[in-house]
Homo-oligomer: A and B are copies of this chain.
C-alpha cells in the first residue's frame, strides 16, 4: 500500500501561493478564519484520512454492500465514520453559524474533500451527499422542513441523498414519471415511482435516509417545467415517532469500482404509503436542483482528481523503488539495473499524471474560490464570479473525470504486470475513476451544456471574463523570459479556440445538429486550454518564488516548472488536431445511419 496519497506541499502552494485563499477572510462571512484555521481544517482532514479512511480503502472494495432482508448492509465501520464526520462538524461546515455551521469557505472545504477522496473515495461519499441534500433543504425549504430534517443530517445520524434518476429518465430528466398527489395536509404529497442509481440511497450505518427527490405533481406542465422537489424520508415522523414511509429498497447495484458506496434501486409508494414534503414552490424542482449542480459537479471533478492523485503517488513510489533495465545508451548487461524512474518513458507517464492532476486541482480550487466569491462578494465581482463559474463548471467536472481514466491507466502501466494485480492499489483506482465521466451528467451532456448554453450565456460574457482572466495571467508571466515560450503557445492555442468557436457558432442558427454534433470534442479542446492556463498561473508563481527558495522547495518549484513545460509540449499540442476536426465540414456522425453499424 502506497504511503503518500496526496501532496500537502502542493495543496499549500495551490491555496496560498497561487490562489491567495487568505483573501477570502477579508469578507465578512469568513471573517473569523485565517490561514491558521484553514491549515487546522486541512490537518484534521489529513488525520482522519490517514487513520480512519485510508486503512479501509481495500477492505471496502473487497466487501461490497449487500442487500440483506430489504436493507443494504455496508462496511460496519461506516457508522462510526459518518458519526465522526457529523460530530467534527464536516457535514455542515460551510453553512452559517446560526445553522451550527462554521462558515468555512468552499475553497477549503473542497480542499478537504480532495484529501478524503484520495484516501478512500467510497467512504467520503456518504457525508458529503448529506451536505448536498441539506444544502437544497436549507436553500429552498421552509423553516419547518429545515428544522425537521437538517439537525439529524448535520449530526451524521440521517443520510441525505439526491434522488433524480429513474429507469426511463437518466440523462433526460424531463422524462421522470414519479408522481406527487396532494394530500389533505398542505405541502404534503403522496409520492409514487421508482428511482435508480441512488447513491447511499439506503444503508445500515444511519438511522434514517432523507431523499431530495424529483417528482411531477399530477396535472402539472409536461417535461422539465413540471418537475418539483420533495423531501422524502425513508421513515417519517408521526406524533414524535418514526414510522415507515414505504420507500423500499428493490436492489443494490454491483459495480466495477467505488464499491464501498451503496447505490440503491428504490420503490417509492408501492403500497401507497409514501409521504413527500414539497421543497419550495411547485414546478421549480429542476431549477433548485441545478442551482446546487455547480457545486456537486465541481465536487465530482475534485473526486476524480483525488483518485488520480492517489494512483499517481502509488506509481511514483513504485517507480522510485523498482529496479528494471538500464539507460538506453548503456550496453553492459553486468551493470546494475536502475530504478525505472530513470527511463524517459516512465518519466513521461509520471509527468502526464502530475501535469493533468495538478492542473485540474488548480482549476477546481479556482472554481471553488469563484463559488465563494459568488456567495460573499458584492456587485460585479459577485455576478462575474457566478457567471465564470457557470461557464467553467462543465469543464471542471468533465476534464478531470475523462482524464482521470487515463491518468489511472498510466499509473497501472508504470507498475506493469504488478499494476494489473490486486497486490497494488492502482487497479482499484483505475476501476473507481471510471464512474466520474458518467455520474452528475455524462461528458456528452456537459459538452452540450458548454457549447449549447454556457458559451453564449449573456451574449458570451462568460467567455470574455475568462479571456480577461487569462490575459491577466499572461501579463503576470511577462517578466519571466523562461515562461515566454509557454505564453506564446497559450496565445496561439487561444487563437485556435476563438476560430473554432466562431466557426461553430456560425452554424448554430441554421443547423443545430451540426453545431452541436462534436460538442464533446469542443469540451475537450476548451478543457485542455483551460488547464494550460492554470499551468501558466502555477509556473509564474514557481518562477517568482524559486530564487528565494531553499531545501525541498527548490525541487518543488523546479518540478512545477518542468511539469508546466510537459503539459504544454505533450498536452496543449493536442488542440491542433482537435481544432482541425472541429473546423472540418464532413458531418460523419450525422450522416451515419443506425442500420449501417
**Closest CB-CB distance, A556 to chain B, in whole Å?**
8
Q: Which residues of B contact A328 (CB under 8 A)?
A: 448, 452, 512-513, 516
Contact across chains for A559 and B597 when beta carbons are under 8 A apart: yes
Residues 478-520 of chain A: 1 if any B CB is under 8 Å from the residue's CB, otherwise 0? 0000000100000000000000000000000000110011111
Partner of A222, one of B334, B447, B448: B334
A127 at the binding interface (Cβ < 8 Å): no
A46 at the binding interface (Cβ < 8 Å): no
Cα distance A595–B345 in the bound complex, in angstroms: 16
Contact across chains for A417 and B170 when beta carbons are under 8 A apart: yes
A71 at the binding interface (Cβ < 8 Å): no
Q: Which residues of B contact A517 (CB under 8 A)?
A: 344-345, 348
Q: Which residues of B contact A287 (CB under 8 A)?
A: none
Residues 41-54 of chain A: 1 if any B CB is under 8 Å from the residue's CB, otherwise 0? 00000000000000
Given A171-B416, A409-B434, A422-B256 in contact, is the A589-B222 Cβ separation under 8 Å? no
- Of A419, A444, A589, most buried by chain B (CB within 10 Å of CB) is A589
Residues 585-597 of chain A: 1 if any B CB is under 8 Å from the residue's CB, otherwise 0? 0101111111111
A131 at the binding interface (Cβ < 8 Å): no
Contact across chains for A593 and B417 when beta carbons are under 8 A apart: no
Number of copies: 2
Given A417-B438, A437-B413, A512-B328 in contact, is the A562-B581 Cβ separation under 8 Å? no
Least CB separation from A574: chain B residue: B577
Given A170-B416, A597-B354 in contact, is the A256-B513 Cβ separation under 8 Å? no
Cα distance A444–B170 in the bound complex, in angstroms: 40
A203 at the binding interface (Cβ < 8 Å): no
Least CB separation from A333: chain B residue: B223
A555 at the binding interface (Cβ < 8 Å): yes
A443 at the binding interface (Cβ < 8 Å): yes
Residues 301-326 of chain A: 1 if any B CB is under 8 Å from the residue's CB, otherwise 0? 00000000000000010001001111
Q: Which residues of B contact A326 (CB under 8 A)?
A: 172
A430 at the binding interface (Cβ < 8 Å): yes
Q: Which residues of B contact A592 (CB under 8 A)?
A: 347, 351, 559, 562, 566
Partner of A254, one of B320, B344, B421, B577: B421
Cα distance A224–B334 in the bound complex, in angstroms: 10
Partner of A337, one of B172, B225, B576, B584: B172
A431 at the binding interface (Cβ < 8 Å): yes
Residues 133-166 of chain A: 1 if any B CB is under 8 Å from the residue's CB, otherwise 0? 0000000000000000000000000000000010
Residues 233-273 of chain A: 1 if any B CB is under 8 Å from the residue's CB, otherwise 0? 00000000000000000000111110000000000000000
Partner of A256, one of B225, B420, B589: B420
A327 at the binding interface (Cβ < 8 Å): yes
Contact across chains for A589 and B566 when beta carbons are under 8 A apart: yes
Q: Which residues of B contact A256 (CB under 8 A)?
A: 420-422, 427, 430-431
Cα distance A519–B196 in the bound complex, in angstroms: 46
A412 at the binding interface (Cβ < 8 Å): yes
Partner of A558, one of B172, B413, B569, B593: B593
A573 at the binding interface (Cβ < 8 Å): yes
**Closest CB-CB distance, A371 to chain B, in whole Å?**
26
Contact across chains for A580 and B573 when beta carbons are under 8 A apart: yes
A116 at the binding interface (Cβ < 8 Å): no
The 19 listed contacts between A and B (C-beta, < 8 Å) are: A170-B417, A197-B417, A225-B333, A253-B423, A255-B420, A256-B430, A257-B420, A327-B513, A344-B513, A344-B517, A347-B592, A348-B517, A405-B409, A417-B439, A558-B593, A562-B591, A569-B581, A570-B581, A577-B577
For the complex with contacts A172-B326, A569-B584, 9 further pairs of A-B residues with Cβ separation under 8 Å are A168-B323, A168-B324, A255-B427, A345-B447, A347-B590, A351-B589, A413-B443, A570-B581, A576-B576
- Residues of chain A at the chain B interface (Cβ within 8 Å): 165, 168-172, 174-175, 196-197, 222-225, 253-257, 316, 320, 323-329, 333-334, 337, 339, 341-348, 350-351, 354, 405, 409, 412-413, 416-417, 419-423, 427, 430-431, 434-435, 437-439, 442-444, 447-448, 452, 485, 512-513, 516-520, 555-556, 558-559, 562, 565-566, 569-570, 573-578, 580-581, 584, 586, 588-597
